[in-house]
Structure 1
Amino acid sequence: MKTAICYYSRHHGNTRKVAEAMAQAGEVDLIDVTARQAVHLEGYDCVGLASGIYGFEVHKAAVDFARQYLPQGKPVFFVYTYGGIKGTGAKAFEEAAREKGCRVLGEFSCKGYDTFGPFKLVGGIAKDRPNGEDLEAARAFYRHIADSLG
């Protein structure tokens, strides 16, 4: 199964680490949504949309990317990392997928090291995350997605 994981990951690269772990579990191309390139997702069996949580939501750039490039009816899954709380989680991704008539296969989330705003004063939260257990859980999640699509 050929998959594209389209991700937005800044600050500490938490979401990129999770996407890279998933890529180790199958035939996955990683696409940085900030790369300013024309993207063609039609040839993929499914698409993952991934972002850290920024201000309680997935990043607007990742959602805008999904609205622009996600093909109509393409199976999708969502990935996000967060420091303290999940906020609205993948809600904005879900809305973009619904607009395109995409079937949602699931979502994966885990904590990620966060030094934003006041967390910087205490050296950050969720230190050493995502960790080995998180990354193995991410690989298992992706294998489950791949198996469910055959």
Structure 2
Amino acid sequence: MQAIIVCTSVSHGNTKRIADLMGNVLDARVVSPDRIDATDLAGYDLVGFGSGIFLGSFHAQLREFVEALPQEQRGKAFIFATSGFPEARFQRFSRPMAELLGQKGFEVTGTFSCRAFDTYAPFKLVGGIRKDRPNGADLAAARAFAERLRTQVVA
């Protein structure tokens, strides 16, 4: 199985930690959107897309990268995110990204998110929230998610 992870991690390195852990499990290279050409994705069986969540959305750099992809038949993809708050049932931040990837020809096989240290806007005034995240349990959950993906794609 050939896998790659496209990741935008800009604030505290939380998303990169998750991406690197998943990359180790999947034997996948982790790259930022500005370090890979969209045509290079064609050679992969599994592509991960992840970033921190900003005002309920994936980072603009990652969204713009996916929006610029040509529509064609592609392999499997997964989505992951780190956020100060959990994904709301009534407004899931992963849903728009999953729909966009589907439009680009990917089959989205799973999504993962975990809490992470957040110092956005008002939280900066109090030193941030979720200072201890991602923690050991979050990392274990990310590892288990990646192991399930590896099993699904190889099968």
After TM superposition, the score normalised by the length of structure 2 is: 0.88
* Residue correspondence of structure 1 range 46-61 to structure 2 within 5 A: 46-61=46-61
Aligned to 2:123: 119
Secondary structure of the 1:130 match is coil
| Count, aligned residues | 149
Secondary structure of the 1:52 match is strand
| Cα shift at 1:92 | 2.6
Secondary structure of the 2:128 match is coil
Q: Which letter does structure 2 place at the counterpart of 1:101?
A: G
Secondary structure of the 1:113 match is coil
Secondary structure of the 1:51 match is strand
| Cα shift at 1:137 | 1.1
- Contact 2:22–2:146 (Cα < 8 Å) also in 1: yes
| Cα shift at 1:14 | 1.0
Quick one: distance in 1 between partners of 2:112 and 2:86? Answer: 14
Secondary structure of the 1:129 match is coil
Aligned to 2:68: 68
Contiguous gaps of at least 5 residues in structure 1: none
- Contact 2:4–2:23 (Cα < 8 Å) also in 1: no
Aligned to 1:77: 78
Q: CA RMSD for the aligned pairs?
A: 1.7
Within the candidate set 138, 145, 151, 1:134 is matched to 138
Quick one: distance in 2 between partners of 1:109 and 1:80? Answer: 5
| Cα shift at 1:19 | 0.3
| Cα shift at 1:58 | 0.7
**Higher helix fraction (1 or 2):** 2
Quick one: distance in 2 between partners of 1:134 and 1:118? Answer: 25
Q: Which letter does structure 2 place at the counterpart of 1:38?
A: D
Quick one: distance in 2 between partners of 1:90 and 1:34? Answer: 21
After TM superposition, the score normalised by the length of structure 1 is: 0.91
Aligned to 2:148: 144
